[in-house]
Amino acid sequence: AAGMGIFQTVSGNGPVNLGIDFSSGTKLTVVSETALTTDQVQAEMEKLGYDDFSYQSAGDNTVYAITKDSIETSELTQLKADLEKTFGIEPGDNVVTPVVGRDLVRNAVILTLVAWIAMLAYITIRYEFDYAIGCLSALIHDVLIVLSFFAIFRMEVNTDLVSVLLTIIGYSINNSIIVFDRIRENMEGRNASTMRAEEYDAVVNTSVDQTFNMMINGSLTTLLPVILLLLIGSRSIFTFNIA
């Protein structure tokens, strides 16, 4: 609910900034044999009559030129030829039509739901259905936090984010399983149905306390390399690192 509330307060053309993967558009990968900046590519594109592109640097000699418009094949061919004359290398291109964009959105949603259902079945089989529901609630919470972050800062939502969400689901479920295992160990010789609520709560709290340091240490060992990747890593994996 909190995540959806944040979505509703974000201004703009939609709750999230969909990339061309999920909407439609054209992405050109402009490469040069020498150092290349976004200003150089932008100046050349505007000289050719294209002023509705955004630009992202992806290294010393690569720049992405992105627009939400799907450029026709003949026009795209001419544009790539003009850019090749200027920068010496034919640009790569990725054109996504509205139909393909809708298909990608549907497939991404289905893939995420399948992952949730698989997690729900696994926890139910290994532990109990009540544990599975609690775990699923935590997963939804974690996913909404990431989506809300992307919505607030108007970061581009693309296919990279799908792999990020699946990674978060897997990482979050791992921490939950650690706690569940300790609860099961501490419940040996006891019958949960005959225990008072206070006694069961005490077992759960003790289990969380016993696994707390382990989960914090695990999170830190993951966080440190991610911070390094954010600082010195490639722009192409920025979405994965920031999420």
Whether residues 228 and 212 fall in one domain? yes
Whether 12 is in a domain gets the answer no
Q: How many structural domains comprise the chain?
A: 2
- Residue 224 domain boundaries: 101-242
pTM exceeds 0.75? no
Q: For residue range 162-183, what is the model confidence (pLDDT) as tens digits?
A: 888 888 888 888 888 888 889 8
Q: Are residues 106 and 215 in the same domain?
A: yes
CATH of the domain at 85: 3.30.70
Q: Which of 96, 120, 137 is the last residue of a domain?
A: 96
Regarding predicted confidence, which is higher, 132 or 98? Answer: 132
Specify whether 87 is located in the same domain as 109: no
204 in the same domain as 148: yes
Q: Is 1 helix (H, G, I), strand (E, B) or coil?
A: coil
Domain co-membership, 111 together with 56: no
State the alpha helices, DSSP H only, in the chain: 2-9, 38-47, 73-87, 98-126, 129-152, 159-186, 197-232, 238-242
The answer to whether residue 148 scores a pLDDT higher than 80 is yes
Tokens encoding 240: 């994965």
Query: Among the three residues 77, 96, 115, which one is the final residue of a domain in this structure?
Result: 96
* Tokens 């627009």, located at residue: 67
172 & 107 share domain: yes
Q: Please say if the pLDDT value at position 210 is more than 90.
A: yes
